[in-house]
Amino acid sequence: MATKRLEMRQIREILRLKWVSGLTHREIALACGTGASTVSDYVRLAEHAGLVWPLPEELDDGALEAKLFPPATPGNGPRPPPDCSHVHAEMQRDGVTLFLLWQEYREGHPDGYRYSQFCEHYRRWRKRLRPSMRQHHRAGERTFIDFSGKKPVIVDRTTGEAQPVDLFVAVLGGSSYTYAEACASQDLPSWTGAHVRMTEYFNGATEIWVPDNLKSGVVGPCRYEPKINVTYTELAEHYGAVVIPARVRKPKDKAMVESGVLVVQRWILARLRNRTFFSLAELNVAIRELLDELNDRPMRAMKASRRELFERIDKPALKPLPPSPYEARAWKQCTVDIDYHVEVDGNYYSVPYQLIHQQVEARWTHAVVELLHHGKRVTSHERLAGRGRHVTKPEHMPSSHRAHAEWTPSRVIRWAAGSGPAVGELVERILSEKPHPEMGFRSCMGIIRLGTKHGAERLEAACRRALVLRAHGYQTVKNILSSGTEQLPLPVEEEARPTLPLHENVRGANYYDTEITRC
């Protein structure tokens, strides 16, 4: 945009390079040391004045200026001044220049100021604005975000203790439209939740978010390559925005929100200073009422309210909201332990065993835990409640572990009975005699595997002999098979022995059992 008058020599050179050399406006700008928009403005002025190249020899600098900037038609009264607040608001919109606004001004006021005086009026008006208002931000381009240094408080109903809470403030660059809410703290859930409600209040999102360098948003502050929190980056991507933090100790980078925070402190916090709030929700209801009033209040310099400017400037340029709001996710770098599980929020979740000792990323919401390796999701689990619990998917286990995990007492007994009834009965006896069935799994599996070496028939006979001997164990069966004694006649069964008649002088076998117990 042309905001200053060029020397007549420069103007003549611009017209020569345009009409004789046929250069582009960008090339002419580089050659003449000015802006491409300035070149466009002067070419348009020359064409409007009916000038052609070569310029007439009698056309000196004064005559050339008069043709480019003809005097206004004299009127009966003073020339109408431009509406500088309207000019300033329109300048926030894409493609709008001062020259275009001057042309529109002259169409409505043929006796109005020439272009140079029009620009001078606007420059003088703009200097009276606050420093934060001197920045030019395109419509829908930036949202400035910060927490207030002054904090509201809520009071505990039981103890009467006053607890400070944080005040989140966001300001749109084009219109100064403001959003504010109280948060329990500046932690990541509060930070992301406030952003979600901010976009809902604006009913859209800008291209760029400019936060301060708080830890919830910026992990590694740096002037040139700040490292943004992964969750915050994901939040911005969800709304089609990009995060560009303000430079450290450079308040002018976020002058808009610095001014907005001050306005919120004066027009909201100050007005709530004598009221007592017992919950965050109660406080935010009061803040919202005063916030709407603040946005509806006319700004003296702009002759319009923030809401009016928002409706005219920022709202049409905002990106539409996605179909569903962002669901907060937490991230964590994890090393897979030797048991192919990772710890997330106090519980343990399995990953494929091939990832043992490798780094994975955990991403979780209130309902789901996702695990990623090199940015690719390898598995997901339903999030466990409480702490110290674990969940394991069978497909994540090595084949040997999977087989062991699939062992159950009933399955082992059925498996053993497939080799013979005596084998099944012996396995059942072993499992029932252990304090916990799993303590007998290895012994039972060893007995079953003996059948692959000695055959099912010999194993059945050996197990029958072990049952008669009441020696329920793997080693007994192995010794019987090794010595080949499974083919020998079984010991005489107890019911085949001769029985003695009952008599008071006959002690019987149980007598000795009782005596042994007494000892």
Q: 266-313, pLDDT tens digit by residue?
A: 888 888 888 999 999 999 999 999 999 999 988 877 778 889 988 988
* Phi, then psi, of 23 in degrees rounded to 5: -75, 160
Least confident piece of the model among 108-112, 215-219, 237-241, 251-255? 251-255
Q: Which pLDDT belongs to residue 282?
A: 93
* Phi, then psi, of 187 in degrees rounded to 5: -75, 175
Cα torsion angle, 85, 86, 88, 89, sign: positive
Q: What is the CATH number of domain 142-317?
A: 3.30.420.10
Burial class (CB in 10 A: 0-12, 13-18, 19+), 144: buried
Q: Which pLDDT belongs to residue 292?
A: 92
Round to whole Å and give the CA distance between 35 and 25: 9
Cβ-proximal residues to 24 (8 Å cutoff; 6+ apart), any chain: none
Question: pLDDT band at 137, cuts 50/70/90?
Answer: low
Q: 457-504, pLDDT tens digit by residue?
A: 888 898 989 998 888 888 889 898 888 888 888 776 544 445 556 556
* 301 contacts 128 by C-beta, under 8 angstroms: yes
Least confident piece of the model among 72-81, 140-149, 197-206, 402-411? 72-81
Round to whole Å and give the CA distance between 417 and 419: 5
Query: pLDDT: is 445 or 1 the higher one?
Result: 445
Round to whole Å and give the CA distance between 120 and 132: 20
The CA–CA distances, whole Å, from 474 to 45, 48, 462, 463 equal 106, 108, 11, 10
Q: Which pLDDT belongs to residue 13?
A: 80
Q: Which pLDDT belongs to residue 511?
A: 52
Burial class (CB in 10 A: 0-12, 13-18, 19+), 127: exposed
Provide the percentage of residues in the chain whose pLDDT is more than 70. Answer: 82
Query: pLDDT: is 96 or 26 the higher one?
Result: 26
Q: Which pLDDT belongs to residue 131?
A: 46
The amino acid present at 309, given as its one-letter code, is L
- Winning range, highest mean pLDDT, from 352-361, 388-397, 432-441: 352-361
Round to whole Å and give the CA distance between 196 and 217: 14
Q: 328-379, pLDDT tens digit by residue?
A: 777 788 888 877 888 888 888 999 988 888 999 888 877 888 898 887 888 9
Q: Which pLDDT belongs to residue 515?
A: 45
Q: Which pLDDT belongs to residue 154?
A: 92
Q: Which pLDDT belongs to residue 286?
A: 93
Round to whole Å and give the CA distance between 64 and 295: 49
Which secondary structure element, helix H or strand E, spans residue 238, and what is its range? helix 230-238
Q: Which pLDDT belongs to residue 516?
A: 40
Task: Please tell me the pTM assigned to this model.
Answer: 0.48
The CA–CA distances, whole Å, from 102 to 90, 106, 127, 197 equal 12, 6, 19, 40
End-to-end CA distance of the chain: 112
Bridge partners of residue 359, in order along the sequence = 335
The amino acid present at 33, given as its one-letter code, is G
Query: pLDDT: is 83 or 129 the higher one?
Result: 83
User: How much of the chain is helix, strand and coil, in % rounded to 5?
Assistant: 45, 15, 40
Residue 513 has pLDDT above 70, yes or no: no
Least confident piece of the model among 110-119, 246-255, 406-415? 246-255
Q: Which pLDDT belongs to residue 21?
A: 78
